[in-house]
Amino acid sequence: MDRISELPDFTIHHIMSYLSAKEVAQTCVMSHKWYNFYVSFPIFDFHEPYKWFVGDLANKNPERFCKNETIRFRKRLHRFTEFVDAFLVRFSNLKLCMLKFRLLIGLLDVEASSLLDKWIGLAVKNEVKELDLDVQTDKNALYTLPWIIFSAASVNALKLEGCKLEQIPETIRFYSLKSLILKKVFIKEEIVQKLTNQCPLLEDFSLDCFWGLRHISIVKSHKLKLCSILEPVDELKSIKVAAPSLQQLVIIGGVCRSIVIDVAECSNLKVLKLNAINLIDQEFHRLMSKFSMLEDLEVTLCALLEKIMISSDQLKKLRISYCIKLKEIEIDTPNLLSLHYWNHPIVTSKVNAPCPWTLNFINAVDELGNNIDSDVQWFLNMKQFLGASNQIKLLFIYVKSKRDSFNLEEFRNSLSSLPCEVEKLWLLLDAPPSSFAALLDGLLGIGYPREFFVLIKHEVHHNFVEWLYKEMMNRDYNCCNSLNIKCWRHYLKDFKIKGFHFLPPIDSPSLKGKSLDVNAVMDLWPKLPNGILQCRLEWCYPDSLE
């Protein structure tokens, strides 16, 4: 007995919603009844079918492909448009509601444009709930939307890519719209205002890679919760968002962007992510003073920031990354759950954050943007920075030096405290092999890791495993008897090489997906590709570390 076929239509359609477009199409061959389920299926996903018909080349590089059109491609595109058109017309004649219409199409010409207008009209006529339109074309041939789309009162999620929004009706009827995502679009300032003002239920608004805007103003969107302004192509001057209900704001400005940000009326903001925006210290601190409810903060590639001050009992997550001019941070966040810091170590830091830290230390840069070699002061800055933490979860250190710039004796004489405990230490070593021994002593003078990972480049790390093993097994305790702070050799109980992990791509099928033990690493070392060497260390900590 075929019990599945006896289920109600809406239940079978719900089951089919978990299948891919290809799998849904395959169900129609099971029986005449299942063919009816297929043709009445209210979810239309023409993303994958487009690839089947026209191939991956157009999808990967549509601009290049449009310039090199072939008869074969046009025939395939014609077959695809006939397939979509027949499917939509057949469904429209059933007079059923459409749950989703998702379409990827490229090589837009006059014929395809008129068909798109027709398909959008059919979707609106059938009260589509979710509309996702991706037109693969270049900047100068964007698809102009038909006005009928702005009367889609039933649509609750709208995503448009490769379209032009230059003129729209005076009144729009997006009465049910909750999510509006616009990507690679040309759009004018008044259109943004109209869309956000006349969508009473709008909760999620996103602009990504857009043209035509110098100022963005969102001031009457009373239910807006999520807002993203990402990578404007033209020079964006200002962003103003006045939405008391806003909970998350993400702004990615691109390279060298100075944007005036006014979000003073978003007092309930919980998530703020700023990327590639040239905020000066005063602007950043004035911005932060407005958000007493903030729980998640990311500051990335803000090239003008020199000092970051954050004091919050509410903040739970904090990420500071690649702010190249940063010289000082003061963080008082007693309830922070995670701290991620990816930057050069700075001299002046006061951090009250009793949570696991994830740190990525990179070289500082000079005024011209050139990397400064990893010298003694760079190591001392790292040690001072780590001293404020009681739990280093992950420490990634990129040591980059063109010469032997690290003086181990000077470093040892400058030490005034023992290293801290580190759960995992990742090391990328880009320095002359002659400096490896001194740099290893310097790194283990900063922290005692339980697990030690080294990213291996064979053109640099000749015989590295054998050298490292001998170095770690060296128990010459006379190396630092005259110093108050003893080196790591006095406290290391055991050292083991746990294995070698390959980095993709791996040419040899016999090695793909494998990790090697220490014996295999030693035997195969000259033949191994680049990868990650994993080590395990056990320590007998001095009293001050326990």
Is pLDDT larger for residue 319 or for residue 16? 319
State the pLDDT confidence band at 259, using cuts at 50, 70 and 90: confident
Question: For a pLDDT cut of 70, what percent of the chain falls above it?
Answer: 81
Query: Is pLDDT larger for residue 28 or for residue 409?
Result: 409
Mean pLDDT within 450-477: 82
Q: HEC profile for 282-328?
A: HHHHHHHCCCCCCCEEEEECCCCCCEEEEECCCCCEEEEECCCCCCE
The whole-angstrom separation of Cα 85 and Cα 247 is 41
Judge whether residue 57 has pLDDT over 50.
no
Q: What is the mean pLDDT of residues 444-470?
A: 86
Average pLDDT in the 190-211 region? 94
For residue 37, the model assigns a pLDDT of 57
Confidence band (pLDDT; 50, 70, 90) for 544? low
Specify the higher pLDDT residue, 109 or 531. Answer: 531
pLDDT digits 0-9 by tens, 240-256 = 999 999 999 999 987 65
- Residue 127 clears pLDDT 90, i.e. is over it: yes
* Tens digits of residue pLDDT in 387-436: 888 789 999 999 888 777 788 888 888 888 888 899 999 999 888 888 88
10 Å CB burial of residue 349 (0-12, 13-18, 19+) is buried
Tokens of 321: 């990354």
**In the 8-state DSSP scheme, what is residue 5?**
G
d(CA 39, CA 88): 9
Task: Pick from 53-57, 90-94, 281-285, 453-457 the range whose average pLDDT is largest.
Answer: 281-285
pLDDT at 240: 94
| Interacting residues of 70 by C-beta distance below 8 A, sequence separation 6+ | none
pLDDT at 244: 92
Per-residue pLDDT for 304 more than 80? yes
pLDDT band at 110 (very low <50, low <70, confident <90, very high): very low
- Model confidence at 50: pLDDT above 80: no
Q: Which two tokens stand for residue 490?
A: 């006095």
> What burial class does residue 417 get, using C-beta atoms within 10 Å of its C-beta: 0-12 exposed, 13-18 middle, 19+ buried?
exposed
Kindly report the average pLDDT of the chain as a whole number.
83
Question: What pLDDT shows up at residue 331?
Answer: 93
436-453 pLDDT, tens per residue? 888 998 999 999 999 999
Element (H, E) at 331: strand 328-332
Q: What pLDDT sits at residue 233?
A: 87
- Write the burial class of residue 246 (CB in 10 Å: 0-12 exposed, 13-18 middle, 19+ buried): buried
Which is nearest to 288 in space by CA: 311, 319, 254? 311
Mean pLDDT to the nearest integer, 496-505? 79
What does the pLDDT look like over 14-26, one tens digit per residue? 666 666 666 666 6
Name 110's Cβ contacts closer than 8 Å, sequence gap at least 6. Answer: none
More confident residue, 216 or 27: 216
Distances (CA, A) of 84 to 87, 99, 101, 128: 5, 16, 11, 16
pLDDT above 70: residue 511 = no
Residue 56 confidence (pLDDT) above 70: no
How would residue 70 be classed by pLDDT, with cut points 50, 70 and 90?
low
Query: Highest mean pLDDT: which of 81-85, 103-107, 426-430, 456-460?
Result: 426-430
User: Which residues have CB under 8 Å from 435's CB, separation 6+?
Assistant: 401, 404, 405, 406
Structure-model confidence comparison of residues 363 and 68, the more confident one = 363
Which pLDDT tens digit goes with each residue over 133-160? 998 877 777 899 999 999 999 999 999 9
Tokens representing 484 are 């108050």
pLDDT score at 122: 93
pLDDT tier, 97 (very low <50, low <70, confident <90, very high otherwise): confident
